[in-house]
Amino acid sequence: MLASGGRAPHSGVMGAHDPDPAGAAGLAASARALLVREIEASGAFAADPRWREAFATVPRHLFVPYYYVAGAGGYERRWGESPDRRVRERWMLGAYEDTPLATRLRDGVLLTSSSQPSLMALMLAELRVEDGDRVLEIGAGTGYNAALLSYRLGEENVTTVDLDPEITESARRHLADAGYRPTVVTGDGARGVPERAPFDRIIATCTLASVPRAWLTQCAPGALILAPLATGLIALTVRDAGHAEGRFLHTPAYFVPLRGSDRPDPEPVTLSGVPGRARESDRFRFLLTLTREALDPQEACSLWEREGMPGRERYGVTVGDGHVWAWLDDPEGPYAWPLPGSAGPDPVERGATRPDL
């Protein structure tokens, strides 16, 4: 059954140089079907199988008319309008690999990418949308994620925002080419889009340092916020305009940072003085990134080893009464740390000094 707002797939023509558009469309369809099978095998559709139809329908290649592949000599540009048919075929097949694609570079720095499709599917499924939900996406990227949301929920229920006007303009163009016209806004994602509120779901495709308070004020009670934070994915349930709480998903997640004039890029996490076992552990690096404002590497390492090398799913975040805190195991348990920009006491093994959240 076609989901609300769904559309038929685009023809999938490679470009003006291709003498065989039917063959190009067939290649796109077969590559897309293979990608859907890969995502399905990963279990990402288990929470909401209707996302399978969205991925099977929305043509990813229309959102990546060119992309960059890292190699020994730097980045190789793959272009769907190349005069070389073999290059066009590599571009098409690469567009449907289950891998992130670099789509915009500036001075060798990655600005935007099309995320790994299986991770996108997991995030969309974990968003647990219902028909009629209004969704705000933070980070328009190529527009592909907004197209998937539009297929599932209807374009009138989808808003996507990005700081860079070049990014939003190209996202609008890609979305129109694929037959979707959600609301695309140029602005600071940390401030949300108040004129389109209230939202039932907010999904971010860029890494946060903390949880912007503006998002909570634009959410309906019971809304869900899903966002990358400290190389993980936090799922927060919003109680009201000042309170939200939730846990991290088990999966790692690496995204470009949320950009803005008042948000400088974070300093890289240092592993100086960390023992080898912790240095090589993705779980430990997650803890170190999450507590970077509160614990030094040795303190984080001692905690990590003492608590049994916990995975991401044992951590959570609470927003309340002007404070944003991360915690281990239990919001009322012994360990909590303020996130950047949160007013509050020093990190605590919880006791009388912790504010009541």
**Which helix or strand (DSSP H or E) is residue 185 part of?**
strand 183-186
User: With 0-12 CB in 10 A as exposed, 13-18 as middle and 19+ as buried, what is 260?
Assistant: middle
Question: CB–CB of 233/206 below 8 Å?
Answer: no
Token look-up 């808003």 returns 159
Query: Exposure pattern of 24-60 as b/e (b: 16+ CB <10 Å)?
Result: bbebbbebbeebbebbbeeebbeebebbbbbbbbbbb
Angle at 28 (CA atoms; ends 27, 29), nearest 5 degrees: 90
**Which helix or strand (DSSP H or E) is residue 114 part of?**
strand 109-114
| H-only helix segments in 188-327 | 213-217, 276-279, 282-290, 297-306
Pick the catalytic residue from 82, 113, 114, 115: 115
- Distance between CA 2 and CA 170 in Å, rounded? 27
- Distance between CA 128 and CA 231 in Å, rounded? 21
Token look-up 């980070």 returns 139
For residue 272, indicate whether it is catalytic.
no
Catalytic center residues: 115
